């Protein structure tokens, strides 16, 4: 392959036009260096060129330690040019190596191109996030567009002293299903309110709007993306959203507007979850969820947001099943809570994965254990019918159905008398989140909130999390099996484990990985740069995995957590290695600091 053909496929050279590529061609120099050659010295003269490795291997060393290994397509020399300072590491060829060198003058001329310059000036987290954003430009779905684009009419207001007859006439004339109520705070009157609160209640047409309106009116910023509005409606179980600009309501959208905007809408699926009594209806759930995920992905919604949307649907499903269990078995003898953990507890589940759930009930009264055992069996069986596989480790309510006192004792044992082996299995329980029932779990939250004072527990928790490690071999080369790697075990799980340990060290009860990293920064448990890099890597890993899983489904294969390296672009492979190296370095740093008493 000719020099220019090789270089122009490497980011950010792949963004240059033909004129700029001619400039590159004019300046490019081919250089062969021998094994052992020191190309740059730590603290020495700064580089006078950008070096691109054509073949061979180069190591970055500091204090005699190998910091990073660079291979074909990787670059070095630009940090000391951009920063105009001495190199931060030695750069050593560890085998005969061929380089393409671009003189500083040519390189600086190309830095006048914003896209080119941005690549060299931005952080790893920015590069990782940009690699997941390429598909977020599709206009046919527009789920990333501001929700204000769905506004079809000026909002209609009525005073709170208007009668329901006057409001109904106005709604009929405007052919709309709702009107806003100009009160403080504002309210809303909908067709549903008129049916349930007026007609069904036997009230007359002279009833004042303020007596039957819904309040408070839930409003969001008009610039919120469409997928954000979907999440809000799903989580709040509402059918209308007011849109606000500079403190003023500029429009009102309904779930119907969102259904019209997207045919595979999660809102439509949530509506259908009300009818789950037939096994055939449950059996369709997996396919419907998969189609909804694909529509969201193709519509440009980022993987973490997809996880949040799908988790909300799964929560709705579980709530319906628990309610059906009570209808079938009779009312519960004591308050209880159905909890989920793992990816569902963190609101990060997408394609249906193993069940991770449990049941907590108040007081071991006569017959309670038997009753809730039947509830657990009822719900778990129907989740199986809906496409949730059984948990290989048995972390399901059929095995973990205990009184609150028993759960308190278990949590205290994990936190106050920690054992590394036990915490390897217990870690996902610390993601627990109640999705049905009324029992307060404050006692469990208090135990976890106090975990920040348990240094041994935090160190053991991090040690257990480190059982998941990036697949890196000698000199930080990606280690694969038959050309594939398990991205869950090698990338996603290490970040999840670090975020969990950091959040508990910060005394935070945030559940999601990204929120836990933000809480750790707020508490001074990790630097903002470190958290940004981990967050960027996490989103990159989720994006790559989801893309390959959806491709496998489209091809009629069973999706899993393994990705085929050759299916990634050259840029993605390079970013993947950078992300793995960063994750391993953060694991080492966080482990050391927690063992030393915390990240202060």
Structural domains in the chain plus CATH codes: 3-121 (2.60.120.10), 147-261 (3.10.580.10), 459-595 (1.20.120)
Structure confidence at residue 137 (pLDDT): 33
349 and 306 in contact (C-beta within 8 Å)? no
What are the average pLDDT values for consecutive 10-residue runs of the chain, which has 600 residues?
84 88 92 94 90 92 78 86 77 94 91 78 69 44 68 85 91 85 90 88 91 88 82 80 87 73 62 68 87 81 85 90 94 96 92 90 89 96 92 93 96 89 85 95 94 90 90 84 93 96 93 93 89 92 94 91 89 86 89 63
Structure confidence at residue 235 (pLDDT): 78
Structure confidence at residue 263 (pLDDT): 46
72 and 53 in contact (C-beta within 8 Å)? yes
Burial string for 440-472 (b: 16+ CB within 10 Å, else e) reads ebeebeebbeebbebeebbbbbbbbbbebbbbb
**Closest listed residue to residue 324, CA positions, set 268, 274, 385:** 274
CB atoms within 10 A of CB 394: 10
Structure confidence at residue 297 (pLDDT): 84
Structure confidence at residue 298 (pLDDT): 78
**Closest listed residue to residue 234, CA positions, set 138, 133, 305:** 305
Structure confidence at residue 28 (pLDDT): 93
Q: What are phi and psi of 413, to 5 degrees?
A: -65, -45
User: What angle in degrees, to the nearest 10, is found between the helix axes of 513-522 and 493-505?
Assistant: 40
Structure confidence at residue 374 (pLDDT): 97
Structure confidence at residue 133 (pLDDT): 57
**Closest listed residue to residue 301, CA positions, set 137, 131, 101:** 137
């Amino acid at each position: 392959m000719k020099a220019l053909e090789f270089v122009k496929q490497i980011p950010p050279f792949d963004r240059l036009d033909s004129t700029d590529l001619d400039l590159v061609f004019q300046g490019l120099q081919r250089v062969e260096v021998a094994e052992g050659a020191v190309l740059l010295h730590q603290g020495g003269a700064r580089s006078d060129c950008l070096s691109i490795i054509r073949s061979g291997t180069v190591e970055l060393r500091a204090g005699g330690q190998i910091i990073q290994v660079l291979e074909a397509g990787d670059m070095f020399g630009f940090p000391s040019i951009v920063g105009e300072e001495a190199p931060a590491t030695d750069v050593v060829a560890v085998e005969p190596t061929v380089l393409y060198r671009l003189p500083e003058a040519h390189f600086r001329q190309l830095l006048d191109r914003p896209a080119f310059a941005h690549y060299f000036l931005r952080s790893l987290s920015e590069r990782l996030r940009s690699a997941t954003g390429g598909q977020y430009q599709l206009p046919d779905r527009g789920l990333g567009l501001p929700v204000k684009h769905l506004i079809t009419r000026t909002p209609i207001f009525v005073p709170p002293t208007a009668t329901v007859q006057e409001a109904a006439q106005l709604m009929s004339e405007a052919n709309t299903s709702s009107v806003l109520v100009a009160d403080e705070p504002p309210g809303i009157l909908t067709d549903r309110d008129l049916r349930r609160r007026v007609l069904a209640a036997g009230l007359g047409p002279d009833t004042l709007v303020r007596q039957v309106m819904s309040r408070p009116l839930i409003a969001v910023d008009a610039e919120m993306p469409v997928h954000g509005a979907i999440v809000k409606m799903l989580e709040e179980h509402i059918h209308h959203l007011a849109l606000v600009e500079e403190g003023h309501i500029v429009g009102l959208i309904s779930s119907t507007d969102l259904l019209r905007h997207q045919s595979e809408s999660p809102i439509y699926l949530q509506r259908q979850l009300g009818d789950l009594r037939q096994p055939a209806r449950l059996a369709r759930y997996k396919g419907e969820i998969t189609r909804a995920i694909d529509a969201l992905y193709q519509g440009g919604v980022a993987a973490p947001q997809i996880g949040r949307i799908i988790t909300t649907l799964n929560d709705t499903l579980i709530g319906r099943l628990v309610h059906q269990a009570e209808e079938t078995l009779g009312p519960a003898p004591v308050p209880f809570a159905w909890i989920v953990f793992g990816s569902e507890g963190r609101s990060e589940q997408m394609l249906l994965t193993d069940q991770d759930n449990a049941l907590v009930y108040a007081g071991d009264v006569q017959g309670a254990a038997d009753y809730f055992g039947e509830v657990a069996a009822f719900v778990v069986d129907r989740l199986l019918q809906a496409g949730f596989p059984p948990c290989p480790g048995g972390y399901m309510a059929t095995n973990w159905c205990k009184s609150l006192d028993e759960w308190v004792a278990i949590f205290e044992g994990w936190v106050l008398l920690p054992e590394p082996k036990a915490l390897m299995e217990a870690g996902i329980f610390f993601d627990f989140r109640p999705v049905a029932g009324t029992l307060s779990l404050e006692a469990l939250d208090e135990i976890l909130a106090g975990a920040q004072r348990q240094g041994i527990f935090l160190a053991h928790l991090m040690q257990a999390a480190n059982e998941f490690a990036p697949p890196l071999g000698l000199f930080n080369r990606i280690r694969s099996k038959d050309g594939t790697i398990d991205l869950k075990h090698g990338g996603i799980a290490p970040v999840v484990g670090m975020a969990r340990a950091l959040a508990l060290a910060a005394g935070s009860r945030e559940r999601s990985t990204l929120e836990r990293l933000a809480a750790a920064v707020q508490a001074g448990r990790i630097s903002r740069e470190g958290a940004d890099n981990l967050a960027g890597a996490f989103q990159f890993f989720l994006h790559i995995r989801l893309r390959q899983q959806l491709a496998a489904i489209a091809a009629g294969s069973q999706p899993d957590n393994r990705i085929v390296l050759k299916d990634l672009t050259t840029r993605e492979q390079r970013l993947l290695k950078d992300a793995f190296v960063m994750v391993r370095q953060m694991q080492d740093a966080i482990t050391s600091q927690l063992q030393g008493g915390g990240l202060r």
